Amino acid sequence: MNIEHTRPPHGGHGEPGITVLLRRMHDVVAEEGSAQERLDRLTKAIASHVVADVCSIYLRRPDDDLELYATEGLNRAAVHKTRLKWGEGLVGLVADSHRPLVTSDAPHHPAFSYRPETGEDPLHSFLGVPLIRSGKALGVLVIQNTAARQYTDEEVGAVQAVATLLAEIAASGELLSQEETAAVGEMLHRPERLKGFPIVAGVARGKAVFLQPPAPKHKVFATDLSVEAARLEEGLSALRVSVDEMLAKNASLSGVPREVLETYRLFAYDRGWKDRLRMAVFSGLTAESAVEQVKNENRARLLHARDPYLRERLHDLDDLSHRLLRVLSGETTTDKRTLSEETILVAREMGPAELLEYDRETLKGLVLGEVSATSHVAIVARALDIPMVTGVGDAIDRCEEGDTLIVDGDAGEIHIRPTSGIIEAYQAKREFQTELQAAFVKERDLPAVTKDGVKISIMMNAGLALDMPHLHETGAEGVGLFRTELQFLIGSQLPSVALQEAFYREVLDLADGKPVIFRTADIGGDKTAAYMDRGAEMNPAMGWRGLRIAVDRPGMIRPQLRALLAAAAGRTLWIMFPMVTIADELDHARGLLDREIERAKRRGGALPEEIKIGAMIETPAAAWRADKIAEKVDFLSIGGNDLAQFYFAADRDSEHVQQRYDPMNAGFLSFLKECVARAGKTGAPVAYCGEQAADPVMAATLLGLGVAQISLPATSIGPFRRMTRSLNAGEVAAWLDENMPRRAESLREDFAAFLKNSGVNLE
């Protein structure tokens, strides 16, 4: 055996102290004796190591009281007698906040709660750290000293590391009695309700499946250090091989620039990371616990880093840790798993192509942590009518695979392990929604005309052949936006002309004579196929994407234009170019289309009876010159998602600046009105196809701004038609004209109140 497997690491990383403490904890847990005796020895070992006058362990009981379970330094008669309510005192505050608390003058802290039986009168300094497992506080580890002092960052870090292990031990059954371990397990599996943000309406129930499943449960402490060291070494080697293979196969993964992947590989080969893992193993932990220990230490450091680049690298380190844990568990494949019936997919983030890899019949709902309402995965989920909630990043820590989940895409809530009462309530809600959709179907042939006689054209957004039956179900006049890029994103290579032609012909056949506006592939930004080598960009959303790629790489768009011309032979072909910035770009695009038309003529190929060309207005530059762009095309369509993103200079997918992205901002609405007016002067039809139109308040605003054609997700068409028929467009326009110039902030609240008072149906 390599000596590296058997010899413990030494020095150089500033952590020999915690290593010694972990070894002592390992020895205590392995000793004979009752659970109480081992807990008492643990508190004594921790107090001795951190030079504390008091070390106490409080555990959470089934009634949510925090009970003093063991102490070194307080009155032992208080053990199992002293209890604090949840949120009561400093201990309760730590448990409730899930955060450490440090103070050099505990008695004068506003949350301090005096317990005379503990004998803590002479104590001043207090350090409390929660014992967190599966996102829940199982108890609190407390360090106290009589002297008024500040605990160092190193001391806080050491106590946090110990608290992490104590939480693992409490749940593993290696320390507490069978009854107490069962109580902890019951606590971890209580029903929970998490509040996030509603993205796709609807209700779904199913079993939780993780996009990146955690490693199976494992022991905390090692029985043979040399065996664990060898397992760690072999696991790291296998991990590095898998990372190398990933880079060899993909120049880019899910749109991540190559330099990020190279950094990812550097982390996998980082000697410091390996040494820290080995130190944790030689402190007495299993290889799996060592990985989790170091991962938690990295999170504690990087979450508070001032450098945003370092904070972003936390995702790389987390992912590497998860991969290594799966390798150690014996998992040999990273393929997507087959989903069972009624599945809810839980992930921190995912891309649109990943979503399309799952079977629509089995995937019932989505719970994502770090994506916005206008992200492309949200757009695809909306097209597939999959209820979706975001902003619940801790959901993956709060539930386990196989748990029953309810996703409420209307309220933006998820219920983990719901009670029978909750299940019955949501079943009733789902039945009501079904009845409501049935009512909308009955109204599908009613004209979309406002109370004052303004005719509105309702179109549907689509991107898959399976969307097309919704044209008949909703009564939409056609497809106002067909996203063709989805076909480009799900394959391992550029789709052939034959495959594209067959697909577009199928879509047109399913439309049964209704117009379908095909947007050419809007590739780039956050939508990059694995076979594309785009190079690194500092800001992909504002970089090489959309029509820019088409103009610079004709080899990508010309086959698509060729397929569209052939598929629409004898019919009207509607083509729309995305991400237009300046009018000259359209000249290049039309030139490419003309070349394909001439090619088809030379070869005797059938052509469309008529070709209509449109441009998407998605940048302030295009909006400001909408009149000039309109002169070169047959119609315009405003892409509100990107237009708002560039107007506010706020990435719509960034959790840090999403709050600055408000389409109901008075300034943005004035900008939209000016854009519609400029285009209207040319006589060119102007549509709106942003996903924001699915919001009834925003949709009503668009009608007041003069937009007469709106393209919506299928699920939003029924409510939109009903809202349109209850609205007076002239009154809405007058209200907006009066309020937009006077206001600098969002009009949403006041405008929604105006609509309700006017009898507009916003349900």
Q: Per-residue confidence at 274, pLDDT binned at 50, 70, 90? A: confident
CB 710 within 8 A of CB 693: yes
- Most confidently modeled range among 197-206, 475-484, 638-647: 475-484
Contact 708, 727 (CB under 8 A): no
Domains of the chain and CATH, by start: 31-188 (3.30.450.40), 192-215+335-419 (3.50.30.10), 225-328 (1.10.274.10), 455-757 (3.20.20.60)
Which of 11-15, 153-157, 160-164, 173-177 has the lowest average pLDDT? 11-15
Alpha-carbon torsion 510, 514, 515, 519, what sign?
A: negative
- Among 88-92, 370-374, 624-628, 719-723, which stretch is predicted with the lowest mean pLDDT? 370-374
* SS3 call for 213: coil
Rounded to whole angstroms, what are the CA distances from 310 to 115, 277, 378, 552? 43, 20, 27, 35
pLDDT exceeds 90 at position 568: yes
Based on the number of CB atoms within 10 Å of its own CB, is 51 exposed (0-12), middle (13-18) or buried (19 or more)? Answer: exposed
The verdict on pTM exceeding 0.75 is: no
Could you tell me which residues are beta bridge partners of residue 251?
none
How many residues are there in the chain? 763
SS3 (DSSP) at 465? helix
Higher-scoring residue by pLDDT: 491, 718: 718
pLDDT at 545: 64
* 189 or 555, which is more confident: 555
Least confident of 348-357, 548-557, 632-641, 736-745: 348-357
pLDDT above 60 for 214 = no
Beta-bridge partners for 145: 125
Measure CA of the first residue to CA of the last residue in the chain; give whole Å. 70
Alpha carbon 335 to its chain centroid, in Å, reads 21
147-173 CB burial, b ≥16 within 10 A, e <16:
eeeebeeebbbbbbbbbbbbbbbbbbe
Alpha helical stretches, state H, 127-177? 153-172
Structural contact between residues 420 and 209, judged by C-beta atoms closer than 8 angstroms: no
For residue 150, name the pLDDT band (cuts at 50, 70, 90).
confident
Model confidence pLDDT, tens digit, residues 104-140: 999 999 999 999 999 988 999 999 999 887 677 888 9
Weakest mean pLDDT among 333-337, 395-399, 577-581, 652-656:
333-337
Q: Residue 249 — pLDDT band, cuts 50, 70, 90?
A: low
Return all residues near 575 (Cβ < 8 A) that are at least 6 apart: 517, 518, 520, 561, 564, 593, 611, 612, 613, 614
CA distance 402 to 412: 21
Given CA atoms 176, 177, 178, 179 in this order, what sign does their dihedral have? negative
- pLDDT tens per residue, range 42-84: 888 888 887 889 999 998 887 788 889 889 999 999 999 999 9
Mean pLDDT, the chain, whole residue set: 81
Position 617 pLDDT exceeds 90: yes
> Which residue has tokens 């490693």?
215
Do 584 and 545 meet the contact criterion of CB atoms below 8 Å apart? no
Residue 571 pLDDT exceeds 90: yes
pLDDT-derived band of residue 734, with 50, 70 and 90 as boundaries? very high
- Return d(Cα 76, Cα 258) in angstroms, integer: 59
689 a catalytic residue: yes
Find the catalytic residue in 5, 124, 376, 470. Answer: 376
> Residue 614 is encoded by which pair of tokens?
């449109």
Active-site residue flag, 376: yes
Contact 688, 636 (CB under 8 A): no
What average pLDDT does this structure show over 657-670? 81
